[in-house]
Structure 1
Amino acid sequence: MKQLDVKLMHPRVQITKVISRIYKNGMTTTSGGNISIKDENGDIWVTPSAVDKGTLTEKDIICVKKDGTIIGDHKPSSEYPFHKAIYDVRPDITAVIHAHPPALVSFSIVRDIPNTNIIPQAKDICGEIGYAPYGMPGSEELGVKIAAQFEGTETMAIIMENHGTVLGGTDMMDAYTRFETLEFCARTIINAKTIGEPVMLTDEQIKEFQDQIPYDIERNDTGSYPPEEREIRQNICDIVRRACDQGLMISSYGTVSVRWKDNDFLITPPDVARWDITPEDIVQIKGGKAEPGKTPSRSVSLHQKIYEMNPHINSIILTQPPYLMAYGTTGVKFDVRTIPESWIFLQDVPCLEFGTHFTGNDTIPKLLSESVPSVLVANDSFIVTGDKLLQTFDRLEVAEFSAKSLVMGAPLGKLFPINDEQVEALRKKFLG
C-alpha cells in the first residue's frame, strides 16, 4: 500500500508505526505482542523484549543479522524464535505480526477459528486459517508447532491455542491488513452471537460480490481543483481518520464521498490504508468519470446513483462498524428506539438483503430519503447519508453507539425500547 511503501520506508519505521496502531486500537497490551520484518539481506528486524508498546520508538527496534549478531539497545522479543521459524519455512513471508487481540484470544480459548465468510472481502484477505497446538511462550517447541502450520501451505494466518494469533504477509501492510480483518471478523461473530446467530455468506455470494465490482472505470483527460474542492478532500481525510480512531473503520474497508457540485463528487480510493489517507489519494468523479490516473472506491457506482436520485444528500459513508454488523449478520432487527436522540438522528433503519448494493441495483438509492437516512446491508455494510459530512459522521457514531448499547444490554434481560406513542411525540416536536 502506498503509504507504507516498503521500498522507501525503513523496517524500524514500519514496525514502530504498526505496533503503535495495534496498541492504540486495543489489540495488544503494554507487554504483549511482537512484530518483525525480514529484509532483502536476510536480516530480521523485531520489536524488543520488555519495552512498553505504548511508547516504543524507532531506536528500540532490534536487528538480528543473518549470522545471528544482535544489534540494538535491548534483547529481541522472547517470541523471536517462532518469527525466525516462520521465515525459515516460508520465503514468501517477509513480515510477521503476533498479538493477543481480545476477540481472537476468545477463539483461541474455545479452540475455534473465525469464519471469514461473515463479510465478503475477508476470505480473500485472510485466506485459509491454521490452528497451532499449545506451546510454552518463547520456546523452540512453540516455533516448531507454528512453523508446521505455515510450512508447505499458502496459509498466512494462525490461531494459537490459548494464546492469540500470528499472521504473515508479503510486506508489513499486507500482514497488518490481514491481522486487523481477522480480528474484525472475530469481534463481529462474538457480537452477533450475543443477540442471535450469525449467518455466513456462501462462496458463491462472495464470488458474485467480486465479479460485480467495476474495475474498468472511465477517466477524464484532465481535472480542475479549485479551493473548495481541495477543502473537501481534506475534510474527507479528517473524517476517515476519526472513523479509524474510533473503530468505525478498519484499514482495508470504509468509503466516504462528498458531493462537490451538481452530481460531481469526491470519493476515497480502494487499496489505501484508511488511517493514512491523504488529500492526494481522494478521487474526483466528474461527469461520471474518474480523475486521471486514479481509481475510486469499488462502490463508486452506488454513490453516483445515490447523488443523482437524492438531491438532498451531499455526503455518504459506507463502512462496517462491529456492533452494527452484529445486526447486519444475524437478521435481528436493529431498533434505534433506545434513547430519544438515536431515533431523532436515524429514525428506523431498514436491513436489506446482501446484493442490493451491487452495481445496477437501484433499491438503495430509491429507498434513501430524509426520513430514511441510512440502511444496513446484510453481511456487507452500514450506509449512512446526510447534508453535511459532519452530520453524516454524527449519524454513524450515533448508530454504532446505539447498536453497542443494544448488544451490551442483551445479556442483562429483556430490552424495552421507546414505545410508538413516545416516538410519535418525538416526530411532532423534532421532525415536524
Structure 2
Amino acid sequence: MGRSAPSEAALRRALVDVCRALHARDLIGAGEGNVSCRLGPDRLLVTPAGASKALLRPADLVVVDLAGAKVRGRGRPSSELRMHLAAYAARPDAQAAVHAHPLTAVALTVAGLPPPNDVMPEASVVLGEVSVAPFATPGTDEVPRALAPLLARHDVVLLERHGALALGRTLAEALDRIETLERVARVAFLARLAGRCEPLPAEAVAKVLAAAGVTRR
C-alpha cells in the first residue's frame, strides 16, 4: 500500500521548518523569500506577505485556491503568490516551491555570468539544468511571464537580480535544491577567482547521471 498524504498539520510544521532553515543558512533575510506546498488537489499552503520567515508559526500560514483566492488564514498570502501559481500550473508533478535569495547565485546574475551548470556532480544530479529568467519587477505579473517559458523544463530557475525558485516533489527536496544551488554557485565563483571555471564534459555528466539513475527533464 502507498503511503498516505501528510496531514495539513504536518505540512504546516514542515513548511515552517523550511522557512527557518532558509533563514539559518543565510538563503533569506528579513522578510525575504516565500514558500508553498500543495494542500490537496485544489488548495495551496503559502507563507504570508511581509513576515519574517525565521519567526513564522504553523498557524500563520495561509490557504489559497489555485486561482489565488484566500480560503483561510489571518494574513495576506505572499506578494509572489502569482509566481507560485504559475509554477504549479506548469508543473503538475511539483508538490512544493521555494523562493529564496541565495547571495552567490544572485551575484552571478548581477555580474552577467552563466548559471553554475555541470560544474560539479551535485549540480547535474540535484539541480538539473538551471536557467535564468530575465529581470522582472518583484510582486507583479512580470515575474510569472518571465518564468513561463522555463517552468516546464527546469526544477531550478534563477531570477535575474532577484533570487531563485526551486520546485520539488516535497518541501525537503525543494529546499535541498536551493541550498545546493548556492553551494555550487559559490564553487563556481571561487573557481573564477582562482582563474577559470570549466563545466564537466558532456560525457562525464552523462556518466554521473547514469550512476545516479537520473534522467534530465
SS in structure 2 at match of 1:128? coil
- 2: distance between equivalents of 1:191 and 1:24? 22
Counterpart residue number, 2:128 = 127
- 2: distance between equivalents of 1:143 and 1:208? 34
- 2: distance between equivalents of 1:112 and 1:199? 13
SS in structure 2 at match of 1:64? strand
Bigger Rg, structure 1 or 2: 1
**Kept in 1: contact 2:125–2:209 (CA 8 A):** no
Return the offset for 1:162: 1.5
Cα distance change, pair 208–81 in 1 and its aligned pair in 2 (3 A) = closer
- 2: distance between equivalents of 1:126 and 1:108? 17
Return the offset for 1:6: 8.5
Counterpart residue number, 1:75 = 76
Return the offset for 1:158: 0.9
**Kept in 1: contact 2:62–2:70 (CA 8 A):** no
**Kept in 2: contact 1:36–1:47 (CA 8 A):** yes
SS in structure 1 at match of 2:63? strand
Instruction: Please say if 1:92 is aligned against 2:66.
Output: no
SS in structure 2 at match of 1:149? coil
Cα distance change, pair 86–210 in 1 and its aligned pair in 2 (3 A) = closer
**Kept in 2: contact 1:63–1:71 (CA 8 A):** yes
**Kept in 2: contact 1:15–1:35 (CA 8 A):** yes
Return the offset for 1:198: 2.9
Cα distance change, pair 188–78 in 1 and its aligned pair in 2 (3 A) = same
- 1: distance between equivalents of 2:209 and 2:158? 27
Q: After the TM superposition, which segments of 4 or more aligned residues of structure 1 sit over 6 Å from their partners?
A: none
Cα distance change, pair 93–198 in 1 and its aligned pair in 2 (3 A) = same
SS in structure 2 at match of 1:154? coil
- Kindly provide the CA deviation profile for residues 284-311 of structure 1, in whole angstroms up to 9, marking residues without a partner as x: xxxxxxxxxxxxxxxxxxxxxxxxxxxx
SS in structure 2 at match of 1:118? coil
Counterpart residue number, 1:16 = 16
Counterpart residue number, 1:49 = 49
Code of the aligned partner of 1:92: D
Return the offset for 1:26: 0.6
**Kept in 2: contact 1:46–1:61 (CA 8 A):** yes
**Kept in 2: contact 1:62–1:75 (CA 8 A):** yes
Counterpart residue number, 2:108 = 107
Code of the aligned partner of 2:204: Q
SS in structure 1 at match of 2:55? coil
- 2: distance between equivalents of 1:101 and 1:166? 10
- Kindly provide the CA deviation profile for residues 390-432 of structure 1, in whole angstroms up to 9, marking residues without a partner as x: xxxxxxxxxxxxxxxxxxxxxxxxxxxxxxxxxxxxxxxxxxx
Code of the aligned partner of 2:148: A
Once the two structures are superposed, the pairs formed by residues 192-271 of structure 1 within 5 Å of their partners are 192-209=191-208
SS in structure 1 at match of 2:88? helix
SS in structure 2 at match of 1:73? coil
Code of the aligned partner of 1:59: A
Instruction: Please say if 1:158 is aligned against 2:157.
Output: yes
Return the offset for 1:72: 1.0
**Kept in 1: contact 2:95–2:170 (CA 8 A):** yes
- 1: distance between equivalents of 2:29 and 2:81? 18
**Kept in 1: contact 2:66–2:85 (CA 8 A):** no
Q: TM-score, normalised by structure 1?
A: 0.45
Counterpart residue number, 1:238 = none
Q: TM-score, normalised by structure 2?
A: 0.86
- Kindly provide the CA deviation profile for residues 220-256 of structure 1, in whole angstroms up to 9, marking residues without a partner as x: xxxxxxxxxxxxxxxxxxxxxxxxxxxxxxxxxxxxx
- Kindly provide the CA deviation profile for residues 256-278 of structure 1, in whole angstroms up to 9, marking residues without a partner as x: xxxxxxxxxxxxxxxxxxxxxxx
Counterpart residue number, 2:30 = 30
- 1: distance between equivalents of 2:20 and 2:40? 24
Q: State the superposition RMSD in angstroms.
A: 2.2
Counterpart residue number, 2:39 = 39
Cα distance change, pair 212–167 in 1 and its aligned pair in 2 (3 A) = closer
- 1: distance between equivalents of 2:98 and 2:207? 31
Return the offset for 1:79: 0.5
Code of the aligned partner of 2:22: I
Cα distance change, pair 208–134 in 1 and its aligned pair in 2 (3 A) = closer
- 2: distance between equivalents of 1:129 and 1:206? 14
Equivalent residues, number: 208
Return the offset for 1:19: 1.1
Code of the aligned partner of 1:163: H
Return the offset for 1:211: 5.6
**Kept in 2: contact 1:167–1:175 (CA 8 A):** yes
Cα distance change, pair 207–6 in 1 and its aligned pair in 2 (3 A) = farther
Instruction: Please say if 1:185 is aligned against 2:179.
Output: no
- Kindly provide the CA deviation profile for residues 133-152 of structure 1, in whole angstroms up to 9, marking residues without a partner as x: 221111112222212321xx
